[in-house]
Amino acid sequence: MWWFSRKGPSGFSYSSTAEEVTEGINGSGLTAIVTGASSGIGVETSRVLALCGVHVIMGVRNMSAGNAVKEAILNKIPAAKVDVMELDLSSKASVRKFASDFNAAGLPLNILINNAGLGFAPFELSQDGIELIFATNHIGHFLLTELLLDNIKNTAHESNIEGRIINVASDAYKFTYRERIRFDKISDKSGYNGFFSYGQSKLANILHANHLSSILKEQGTNVTINSVHPGAIVTNIFRHTPIIGGVVTALGKYVMKNVQQGAATTCYVALHPQVKGVTGKYFVDSNVAELKSHAADPEMAKKLWELSLNMI
């Protein structure tokens, strides 16, 4: 439908694909980490970055699935540079091991894409005793970013190429608990709601990007961080709500993005020269979008930052 093709200031639209927004971009010499790279938009993000010449490190919980994706990419792009490493974002020990192994390998890091996500799950605690959606979607990525930040800064300084961090958030940040983030009862079962918890975690992704952006600017580093909304996409994020998942699968092809379109904004923010120097912004359909006031609240962002530091 015509309004899906209306282009924004970037020249791209709702219907633009990841290949279209990166057409002609040469990412040779760059190294990127993509979390949650064995399914959904993580697969397409990894494929398109590899197509552009980027060395892609796929952080995956399921190694057999990750290796299958790697083989599929190599079958289509024989010259691609793709590696698979185990990473369970819900486990702080797994995140620490992944970061330690990556840094020990001596690889540079130009791009970090915090993509993995868990949605709409029934209440469960992670092995660290943190509510599972918040643990996976926010705390795991917060810790990973902290552990890799020196590498990103050093790579940017030594290469004189801007480092980029992308938090894959969601417009679901608009639908959260009344208090927005349940600071005093993150892991309480009482009052838990899977939809609001997902929205809370996506709000946390945005606030994390906003606050870290301010810190990086104050430090004068050549590193940016932005958050993105990939759009409503038919992926396995609805696996914990089979009824909704069935409706989404049946109707999604008419009103929702496919994975090629869903990965577009992430790939655009990761690679496009138009985004150079842009930081602390929220992108929708490969264009900067305005946030609701609670997602742009610096005090809430600072409070979340302090909570997150305590939790890691």
CA dist 100 → 87, 210, 266 (Å):
12, 26, 25
Q: Compute, in degrees rounded to 10, the torsion defined by CA atoms 202, 203, 204, 207.
A: 130
Q: Which ranges constitute the DSSP H helices of 123-273?
A: 132-134, 140-159, 194-219, 242-255, 259-262, 264-271
Counting every residue written for the chain, the total comes to 312
* Catalytic residue, candidates 192, 198, 268, 282: 192
192 is annotated as an active-site residue: yes
Task: Return d(Cα 231, Cα 259) in angstroms, integer.
Answer: 10
CB 141 within 8 A of CB 205: yes
| Sequence-ordered list of residues with C-beta below 8 angstroms from that of 184, at least 6 positions apart, any chain | none
**Token representation of residue 153:** 């800064």
- Catalytic center residues: 192
